[in-house]
Amino acid sequence: MERPEHPLRPQRLETLTQEAVELGILSLSGSEDGFGIWDHTDSAEAMLFNIGTLRHLGQANPGVAFSWHRSSLAHGLAKLLGFTLNQERFLATTLSITGHYGLGRYSLARWLKGSAIPPEEQDVLGDWLNRQQHASPIVAAEDWQTLLWPQWSDGEVVWCLSDRAGESVSRCEAQHGFDELSSYLVQAHEHGDIRSLDASQTRSIYQRMLKADCIGLMAIAVGALQRGQTLATEYAAIRKQGGKRIDHHPAVQFMLGEVEMTLQHAEAALGMTTRPLDELDLGVLLSMRARLHESLCQAANHVVQVHGGIGYMRDCGAEKIVRDLNMLKLQGGGTREIPLFLAAWVEK
């Protein structure tokens, strides 16, 4: 974060990741039971560790935090499903939990609840997870090799480990944020290595993955805004306008106050998630995500605005926080369709 205008190079990210694996912050799928991110989700303490670690990482670098979060979920899921992953490079495997666009509208919620799904909604769900027909966007470390993702196969959701070399993968231009990572459009040729479980097991795992992803994205985002708050308050304390510090002007005080309010709300929301993952309701988490990301993005914009012109410049660091928070909002299907999901989730 010292020079935000110079993104972390892929080699540096690999080295850092290797160090994090050695420190036990990240666990490979082949390792014994460890204490890395998302290794445990069955107690409040474990969740506190997952959330706290991702928040701290988000404070330092949201792009790095995102890649570690997604690869941690991938390694955990691979272990559960018996997939064999590259044990030399943690970031060689990444995960995409949602379909090619959005959040599956209301069909995903109905399927997760085990409700009867009318044929047209089944078509939406099947199409949403049709990896052969649609290219899905993913954001990952440059040299990823395998992708773990759900697919639709013969009327069921299955888990698939796709090899990059065997799929149609096109690298995109530099994306909006997460300067340390790259974007790709991935379209499957084959079904790849597949694990098919019974429907209730698949639904249960899918829910757990969605919940963990949702919490992870929120935790990283809160960390990113905390960094933004530090930048804004420190700058406002030294910058003068009209002969006095800008944090003595109500125009700036309001923006700093909004940032603080957003963080307080976010803290309270994240605090509610420090319970065993299975006790948390997916609908509640998605509701939080929809509101939280909206307000976090707005607050990050206040951070830039407090800085004025310099906030727009890359060497300041504030504009990167806005871009990274936008990225976090747009991942995992984005937030626009969450109300549709929730309407189906609470449907009688």
Partner 1 sequence: MSLNMHLDGHLPSTHQLSPHWQYGEFPVLARQFTHYSSRDLWEADTARLPKALAKIRRAARGFAEQHIAPLASAADLAEHLPVGECLPDVQRLLIEAGKAGWLSYFMPAPLGSMPWQAVTQPPIWQCALVVEEFSRACGGLMLLLSAHHLGCMPLLLSGSPGAITRHLAPVYRSCLNGDPHLVAFAITEPGAGSDAEEGHGAEVYRPGVVATPAPGGYLLNGRKCFISGGDLAKSATVFAALQGEGMDSWTCFYVDADSPGYSIARTEMKMGMRASGAAELEFNNVFVPNGRLIGGLRKGWALNRATLNASRIPVAAMGVGLARAATELAVDFARRYKLGGKELIHYQDVQLHLATMVAETRAIRSLIWQEAKHAWKPRQLNASLCKFHATDRAQHVVEMALDLLADHGSLHEQRIEKIFRDVRLTRIFEGTNQINRLSLIEDWQEQLLPLDSHSPIVGV
Q: Kindly list the residues in this chain that would bind partner 1 in the complex (CB under 8 A).
A: 5, 98, 100-103, 105, 107, 120, 123-124, 127-128, 136-137, 139, 172-177, 183, 185, 239-243, 251-252, 255, 297, 301, 304-305, 308-315, 319, 322-323, 326-327, 329-337, 339-340
Element at 294 (helix H, strand E): helix 282-307
The nearest distance, CB 333 to partner 1, in angstroms, is: 6
The nearest distance, CB 27 to partner 1, in angstroms, is: 27
The two structure tokens encoding residue 121: 């909604």
What is the bridge-based pairing of β-strands 93-95 and 193-195?
unpaired
What does the CA dihedral 28, 30, 32, 33 come to, rounded to 10 degrees? 60
* Per-position DSSP letters for 197-231, written without gaps between them: --HHHHHHHHHHHHHHHHHHHHHHHHHHHHHHHHH
CA distances 74 to 147, 157, 160, Å, are: 8, 17, 11
The nearest distance, CB 82 to partner 1, in angstroms, is: 28
How far apart are the C-alpha atoms of 282 and 298, rounded to whole Å? 24
The nearest distance, CB 319 to partner 1, in angstroms, is: 4
20 vs 318, which CB is nearer to partner 1? 318
76 vs 102, which CB is nearer to partner 1? 102
The answer to whether residues 224 and 298 touch, using CB atoms and an 8 Å cutoff, is no
Q: Exposed/middle/buried for 69, CB within 10 Å: 0-12, 13-18, 19+?
A: buried
What is the bridge-based pairing of β-strands 182-187 and 136-140?
antiparallel
The nearest distance, CB 201 to partner 1, in angstroms, is: 26
Which residues of 43-111 form beta strands (DSSP E)? Answer: 93-95
24 vs 308, which CB is nearer to partner 1? 308
18 vs 187, which CB is nearer to partner 1? 187
The answer to whether residues 182 and 175 touch, using CB atoms and an 8 Å cutoff, is yes
The nearest distance, CB 161 to partner 1, in angstroms, is: 20
195 vs 314, which CB is nearer to partner 1? 314
84 vs 133, which CB is nearer to partner 1? 133
The nearest distance, CB 32 to partner 1, in angstroms, is: 34
30 vs 308, which CB is nearer to partner 1? 308
37 vs 252, which CB is nearer to partner 1? 252
What is the 8-class DSSP label of residue 97? -
The nearest distance, CB 274 to partner 1, in angstroms, is: 28
The answer to whether residues 341 and 109 touch, using CB atoms and an 8 Å cutoff, is yes
